[in-house]
Amino acid sequence: VAPSAATPSAARDLARIVGAEHVIERPGREWLTDTSAARGLVGRADAVVLPGSAEQVAEVLAWCYAHGQAVVPRGGGTGYAGGAVPIDGGIVVALGRLREVRELEPSAWRMCVEAGLSTADVHRRARESGLLFAPDPGAAEQSQIGGNVATNAGGPHSFKYGVTGDWVTGLQVAVAPGELIEIGGPIRKDAAGYDLRGLFVGSEGTLGIITAVWLTLVPAPETTLPVLAFYPSVATGCAALRAVFEHGVGAAALEFFDAGTLRAAGATLPGGVPEGAGFALLAEADGAEPEARRIHGELREALGPGSLALQDGAPGALWRWRDTVSGAVTTVQGGKLSEDIVVPVDRIAEAIDGTLEIGRRHGLQACSWGHAGDGNLHSTFLLSPGDLEQLALAELAAEELFDLAIALGGSVSGEHGIGWVKGGALSRQWPPGAVRLHEAIKSSFDPAGLLNPGKKQA
Ligand SMILES: Cc1cc2nc3c(=O)[nH]c(=O)nc-3n(C[C@H](O)[C@H](O)[C@H](O)COP(=O)(O)OP(=O)(O)OC[C@H]3O[C@@H](n4cnc5c(N)ncnc54)[C@H](O)[C@@H]3O)c2cc1C
């Protein structure tokens, strides 16, 4: 795509709002991509602006609305769906300077933070007060809490604790045509109006720009005790997963890794991968010491039948390894196309096998891992960088994966959203009446269609 730059008068206007040093007139690639760069998506922007306050965000939005300029909110740029990529010019509003913790009230289990604070910093600040903010998406040092809210990010511990939106009690948002609003706040319930908070959660920058977030917290569990279980096949592993549900075991996390993933990432797994393993489950028990021990025992009992080995291991090392899995899979061939379909948990074996079958049909190496307890798979096709034919096949394979998810009663996205790369997929899964309501919501929040255009389209 041809590079673009702000006109001198636009740059002057924006500099008046945020300061000239916070306007980037010829943005480099680092502002024009996200994790979807692996599938060749690079956008173009007329300028990037970095506001220093919520009021400046609203002023920038007002300027864009008055001048008919597209606005693309940008958090940490770790999204997989191309949501933060400016597809066809306009102004990227990067939230990275809004990093203040506005309120931290440990005795009331809550905090209010600005949108640009990193997810890891939110975790750290809660931890320092003995509290837990549980949503734990993988790229926590880079992603921002505003981006997490805008994608309703999940993570391994969503199984017990829910996704980001479940922790949001209030939002400050810059809305069209350039006004700062606050909804909810330091309250734990709110049944007053339509659920506007819920609409902004997962809206991927298409309804407004989130500037601050009220979060509810919980006391941090005293102990976490993982169990790693290995199985010869998908079928035996998924039978064990079902047993955890059937026995009513309150696990905090339940992750899975198929054979291809274990081949790619197993070399660095603490304790190693036993001979013959074609599937693994990583579960965790948490709580006060006696409770965590009880659940840990129940997990071992439920996961034992059919397993090749059960290992305990240190939680820190295992979760650090878990964070490296996506990167390790990428290095097998140099690139990958990863999706995040979700299916009812009792259909997950069919989705794992189906991923491999789709890959085989297209001559692509495939594997999957993910949040087994939530039925959420990172179904992945490996790519050689620069091989456009292979990329086209992988895009086709992804379409078939969406059909599979829908046929199994699931959804095309469990946590990454629709963004740009999955545009149009929603209307395959939703009836026309639901699609109509989806579009009506967009046009009532953004009548000129300037907020992240082209994204989250049904
Ligand atoms: C290694 C790795 C592991 C990951 N693991 C997980 C995981 O386990 N679970 C999971 O859910 N995701 C995961 N992700 C995806 C990604 O990290 C999350 O989607 C994250 O929430 C994106 O946050 P971000 O700040 O990087 O947002 P960006 O990528 O910058 O933006 C994502 C979307 O949100 C919008 N947006 C960003 N900030 C704002 C704002 N302040 N106001 C309005 N809109 C905004 C953007 O316009 C875009 O549409 C992973 C990514 C990587 C690279």
Mean pLDDT of 307-325: 93
CA atoms of 271 and 163, how far apart (whole Å): 30
Query: Which pLDDT score is estimated for 8?
Result: 79
218: amino acid identity, one letter: V
pLDDT score of 64 more than 90: yes
Pocket probe for ligand 1: among 118, 151, 168, the residue whose CB has the most ligand atoms within 8 Å is 151
Q: What is the sign of the dihedral through the CA atoms of 95, 97, 99 and 102?
A: negative
Which pLDDT belongs to residue 38? 82
Distance (Å, rounded) from C-alpha 261 to C-alpha 326? 9
Write down the number of H helices and E strands in the chain: 14, 18
Short-list 232, 228, 229, CA closest to 276: 232
Q: pLDDT digit string (tens) for 338-358?
A: 999 999 999 999 999 999 999
Dig out the tokens for 295 from the structure.
């659940």
d(CA 359, CA 408): 18
Query: Which residues' Cβ are closer than 6 Å to ligand 1?
Result: 34-35, 72-80, 83-84, 95, 115, 137-139, 143-144, 146-148, 150-151, 153-155, 204-205, 209-210, 326, 415-416, 419, 452, 455
Return the pLDDT at 131.
98
C-alpha 9 to ligand 1 mean position (Å): 32
Give me the chain's average pLDDT, please.
96
Which of 71, 74, 87, 421 has most ligand 1 atoms within 8 Å of CB, for mutation?
74
Task: Report which protein residue has its CA nearest ligand 1's atom 49.
Answer: 83
* DSSP line for 327-371: HHHHHHHSEEEE-B-B--GGGHHHHHHHHHHHHHHTT--EEEEEE
β-strands 309-311, 218-219 pairing: unpaired
pLDDT in tens, 411-447: 999 999 999 999 999 999 999 999 999 999 999 999 9
Structure confidence by residue, pLDDT tens digits, 89-102: 999 999 999 999 99
| Euclidean distance between CA atoms 193 and 438, whole angstroms | 18
CA distances from 188 to 101, 113, 160, 212 (A): 19, 16, 19, 17
| Rounded Cα gap, residues 328 and 336, in angstroms | 11
Q: Region 397-412: what's the mean pLDDT? A: 97
Specify the pTM.
0.96
Q: Which atom of ligand 1 is closest in space to residue 35's alpha carbon?
A: 53
